[in-house]
Every structure is written in C-alpha cells, then in structure tokens.
C-alpha cells in the first residue's frame, strides 16, 4: 500500500470526505472472514498517551444488576452540553482553525475493555467528553467522564484499495481509556473538543450483559458505516474519481464524516428519540450494536446468546439495513425462544453482508457487500455467504419471513392509514383525529411480501397507498405472534422514530399517537412473550394489493 498526505473537504450526502493529493489508490488483498470472538482490549505501545483521569481498571461488583437502576440513572443531573450547535457542514471545505475528527478501535466496549481513540486536529490541544445518552429530564445526556487536555497530532494519511474502493485512516493512537463501573450500559457520544472549540462525535456503545434489563436496544452501526463517505466512497457511490463507482468493502477504521451529523451518523435522528422515550418510561434496558449480535452468535455453539440472556425483547432502530448471517440468526433464535422483536423502522435485514478483520487482524472491522452474486468472489466458494439482498438467490430468504413486512421504496412521503385500531397496540391512544397520520410513511417504507413466505397469522395494523416511481404500492404496519409466544411488531417506516421527537417532527397529533403506540409496545414487550397475551389475528389477505401503474393523466 502507498500512502500520501491528505486535505480535508466535505462533499454531498451530508458527509465530511477526505480526498487525496494525487493518486492514492493501491491494490490490497482481501482477508478471509473471521470466525474469532472479538476482544476490544488493545495492547498499545508505551508512547501512546493515556489519560490520567480515565476510570481505573478495577472492576467492582456490577451496580446495574438490580432492577430499577435505569430510573435511578436518569434521576442523575443531565446536561445538553453534549450538543454541537453549529450547522452541519455541507459541500464546501471546512476551513475553521482547529477542525477535529476521530474514531475508536471498537463500536462497543464492555467493563474492563480499553478503548483507543484516533484523533486528528490542527489545534494545539484537545480533550474528550463522554456523554451517556438517555432522558435525564429532557436534556438527553449525562457527562460520565472528561479526559485531560491532550497534545494534538495532525494526521490525515489514508489508504485506498483500488479494487474494493475501501478507504482506511492510517492514524496512530491518540488516547486510551478503560470502561469501568462509572459507565452504565448505554449509547454514548464521545465529544472530541479542540482547544479552539471545534467538535466532532465518536459514537460508542457500552455493553453489559449482566445488567438487569427486560429490553435490549441494537444500534445499527453496520448501516451507518455503509453510508459513511469519509475518504470518498460509500457502498452506494463515489464522490471523487468515477461517480458511478462505489465501494464493495468499507472500513470501521475511519471517522464518521463531519457532515454526517458531526460524526454521530444516524444516531440523533433514528435512535436517540426511541432511547429517550424508553428511559423516560424507566424500563430497564441493555444496549448493544449489531456487531455484538454478530459476534455473540459465534460464542460457543450459539445456543445461549449472552446478548439475549434474560431479555424479554430486542428492539432494532430506524434504519437497520445491513445484516450478516450471524446477525439474522440472532434475531431468529430470539423470536423462537419467546423473545419479542420490534422493528421501529423500515428497510431492516435487507442486504446481506460479511464482516472481516482488518489487516492487523482486529475482528469485524471491514464490511463486505458486493450487491450481486456474480460480482462477489465468495459466491463460488460458499453461496450462503454471497452478499446479495436477502430475498435474492442464492439466499432466497426474504426479510418478511422474519419481520412480517419487506422493503419497497426510498425517498417517499405518504400518510399512514390506520385500519385496525381495535388492536392492543392502540389501547388508550387518542385516535379521534389520528386515524390518518400525516406524512408518517417517509424516508423509506415497507409493505407486505410474498404470501407464501410471511407468517400465516400476520395482522395488518396500518395500510397506506404510496406512490413510488410512477407505481402505487401499499405500506403496511404489522404484528404477529410466533409459535414460541413471542410478538413481532414492525412499523414499516423509517419516519416512526423521528416522529417521537415532537420538536423536530413538528406535528403534535402525529407524535402523540406514535408515542402512545410505542409506549404500549415497549411496556407489553418488557412484560414477557406478548404473543401469549395478545395472539395475532390474520387479516393480511384483506390488504394485499398488487403494484399498480400510476396514470400521469
């Protein structure tokens, strides 16, 4: 590989992109998929600075093992200092003195793990503020830890593979800290702050399998990384060189672009409103990433997944599109063991991926998605690992077999028509003016799939016509009860979690209904297998429609 010095610029798709000086492409061999269980403790050279104010490495008995810990946590003083109030940068280069960005060596960490940060800034010094995100009386954040001021290192080297268009930041470690009992399980934003007051987020999930919790929330980091254009290319397109090309492999060894919500990716819009509501309700909850779903399915014989042990429900968030085989297996085993599943978004479990180690051997740091079987060199070796859409050959496993609905459209906006308001999810929800929820089917949408694949007892709760590319489709919100007693709920729209935030959504009537339904689902799913108390009643045949052309006249 050959590296060169880079300059920082931002480009389309709400993202900061680092482009190279001259030709930075090199050809690198693709490593084979890892089957190892990951460890996030990294041995560092002695010269790497370690904050003296970081938590100690001694792990005391888990203070979060007793029920009610989350309500007590949210009674702690909160702050909104986690916010970056500057407008998200657009396509023009960032010229501010002290611009800062960075990434971590892991997407999640457990007690005792050492987290390594890689940071670049031209400011004299910088520090980290670690915020746990939740409710906290509406401030949504609590400051857990602040590092000491750290001397800066302006590093911008990267490598790009000419075949896969994968870009990596080739940076040296900047700071380490250890997760101990001061860090409750949760979704965190590490706010990097330069001495000139520029800032950037690094998302991190703290996972504690021993935590007392009914629910477990899954953060969709594989989808975030697929859309991250730092370095020039996403899994969709390239913004430098040939715009028709795209990456087939993307790396976690790079920052989330600054104009990707200042490095927070989709967390603020597609995850935080749900997390905030859960914690406002005081329901004990654990937090993991979808990479944890992958790695935990590889533990032992997979019969007992530590992520799901003693949980009653698993919740996926607004946009959870990219799934490896172990990730999907984790969800299927959960459902079949009586654990409820909630899909509070759309386009979930749509694209099949592989996770591979990076060149240093750190597991699960590269995400592979070729889109078609013919393009993927793995297809000939192992067709079950071909990175196609889950519903396509050679996999032939439509997501609707698990979720109840499947993806059909992006970039749409339509009202959600409630058609089955006697269902338990609407109990106590004021629907007098809310049977048609304005513009709630938005961003991306799901509808009914093949009848021979979806659950026989699938119950449609909302059925809404949606025009997409001069054709009329039907969105669906659904619920079904599995043989195990588990309940499976799917909203069928990415806009659902966004609408939980009344201020951002701007339609109080819609938010009232969405919060009411979500509260019902959360409380019922926390209580145990919902399909036992609320068996679904099949009605999908009543709302199944074929795709119809729209007459422009």
pLDDT attached to residue 21: 36
> What contacts 303, CB < 8 A, 6 or more positions away?
none
pLDDT attached to residue 203: 98
pLDDT attached to residue 16: 34
pTM of the entire structure?
0.89
pLDDT attached to residue 271: 98
- Answer for the pair 370, 380: CB distance below 8 angstroms, yes or no: no
3-state helix, strand, coil in the chain (%, to 5): 20, 30, 50
Closest by CA to 438, choosing from 525, 508, 485, 339, is: 508
| CA–CA separation, 57 and 417 (whole Å) | 53
pLDDT attached to residue 60: 66
pLDDT attached to residue 244: 77
pLDDT attached to residue 15: 34
pLDDT attached to residue 20: 33
Q: How far is CA 518 from CA 138, 425, 463, 514, in A?
A: 18, 8, 18, 6
pLDDT attached to residue 299: 73
pLDDT attached to residue 212: 97
Per-residue pLDDT of the chain (553 residues; tens, 9 = 90+): 333 333 333 333 333 333 333 333 333 333 333 333 333 333 333 344 444 445 555 556 789 999 999 999 999 999 999 999 999 987 555 667 889 999 999 999 999 999 999 999 999 999 999 999 999 999 999 999 999 999 998 898 999 999 999 999 999 999 999 999 999 999 999 999 999 999 999 999 999 999 999 999 999 999 999 999 999 999 999 987 777 799 999 999 999 999 899 999 999 999 999 999 999 999 999 999 999 999 999 876 556 799 999 999 999 999 999 999 999 999 999 999 999 999 999 999 999 999 999 999 999 999 999 999 999 999 999 999 999 999 999 999 999 999 999 999 999 999 999 999 999 999 999 887 668 999 999 999 999 999 999 999 999 999 999 999 989 999 999 999 999 999 999 999 999 999 999 999 999 999 999 999 999 999 999 999 999 999 999 999 999 988 888 876 5
pLDDT attached to residue 337: 95
> What contacts 494, CB < 8 A, 6 or more positions away?
270, 318, 319, 345, 346, 347, 442, 443, 444, 445
Q: How many CB atoms lie within 10 A of CB 357?
A: 17
Question: Which residue's structure tokens are 């909104």?
Answer: 80
């Amino acid at each position: 590989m050959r590296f060169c010095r880079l300059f920082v610029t931002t480009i389309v798709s709400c993202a900061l992109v680092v482009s190279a000086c001259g030709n930075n492409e090199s050809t690198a061999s693709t490593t084979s998929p890892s089957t190892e269980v990951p460890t996030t403790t990294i041995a560092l050279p002695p010269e790497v600075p370690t904050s003296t104010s970081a938590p100690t490495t001694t792990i005391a008995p888990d203070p979060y093992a007793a029920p009610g810990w989350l309500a007590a946590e949210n009674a702690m003083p909160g702050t909104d200092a986690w916010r970056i109030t500057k407008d998200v940068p657009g396509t023009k280069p960032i010229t501010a003195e002290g611009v800062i960005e960075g990434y971590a060596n892991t997407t999640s960490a457990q007690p005792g793990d050492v987290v390594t940060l890689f940071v670049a800034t031209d400011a004299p010094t910088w520090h980290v503020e670690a915020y746990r995100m939740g409710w906290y009386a509406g401030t949504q954040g609590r400051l857990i830890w602040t590092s000491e001021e750290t001397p800066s290192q302006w590093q911008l080297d990267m490598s790009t593979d000419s075949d896969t268009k994968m870009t990596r930041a080739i940076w040296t470690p900047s700071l380490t800290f250890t997760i101990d009992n001061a860090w409750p399980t949760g979704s965190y934003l590490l706010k990097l702050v330069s001495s000139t007051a520029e800032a950037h987020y690094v998302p991190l999930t703290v996972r504690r399998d021993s935590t007392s919790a009914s629910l477990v929330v899954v953060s969709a980091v594989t989808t975030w990384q697929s859309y991250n254009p730092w370095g020039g290319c996403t899994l969709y397109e390239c913004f430098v060189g040939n715009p028709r090309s795209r990456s087939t492999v993307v790396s976690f060894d790079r920052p989330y672009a600054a104009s990707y919500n200042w490095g927070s990716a989709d967390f603020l819009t597609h995850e935080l409103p749900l997390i905030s509501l859960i914690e406002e309700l005081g329901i004990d909850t654990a937090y993991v990433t979808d990479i944890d779903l992958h790695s935990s399915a590889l533990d032992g014989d997979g019969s007992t997944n530590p992520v799901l042990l003693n949980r009653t429900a698993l919740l996926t968030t607004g946009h959870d599109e990219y799934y490896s085989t172990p990730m999907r297996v984790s969800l299927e085993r959960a459902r079949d063991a009586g654990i409820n599943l909630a899909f509070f978004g759309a386009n979930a479990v749509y694209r099949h991926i592989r996770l591979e180690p990076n060149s240093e051997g750190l597991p699960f740091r590269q995400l592979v998605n070729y889109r078609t079987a013919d393009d993927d060199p793995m297809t000939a070796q192992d067709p079950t690992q071909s990175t196609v859409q889950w519903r396509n050959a050679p996999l032939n496993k439509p997501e609707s077999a698990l979720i109840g609905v499947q993806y059909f459209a992006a970039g749409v906006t339509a009202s959600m028509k409630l058609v089955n308001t006697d269902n338990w999810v609407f109990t106590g929800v004021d629907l007098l003016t809310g049977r048609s929820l304005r513009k709630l089917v938005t961003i991306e949408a799901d509808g009914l799939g093949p009848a021979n694949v979806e659950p026989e007892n699938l119950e449609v709760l909302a059925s809404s016509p949606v025009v997409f590319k001069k054709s009329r489709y039907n969105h669906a919100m659904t619920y079904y009860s599995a043989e195990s007693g588990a309940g499976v709920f799917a909203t069928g729209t990415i806009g659902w979690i966004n609408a939980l935030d009344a201020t951002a959504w701007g339609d109080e009537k819609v938010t009232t209904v969405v919060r009411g339904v979500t509260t019902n689902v959360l409380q019922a799913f926390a209580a145990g297998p919902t399909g036992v108390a609320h068996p679904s009643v099949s009605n999908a045949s009543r709302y199944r429609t074929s795709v119809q052309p729209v007459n422009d006249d």
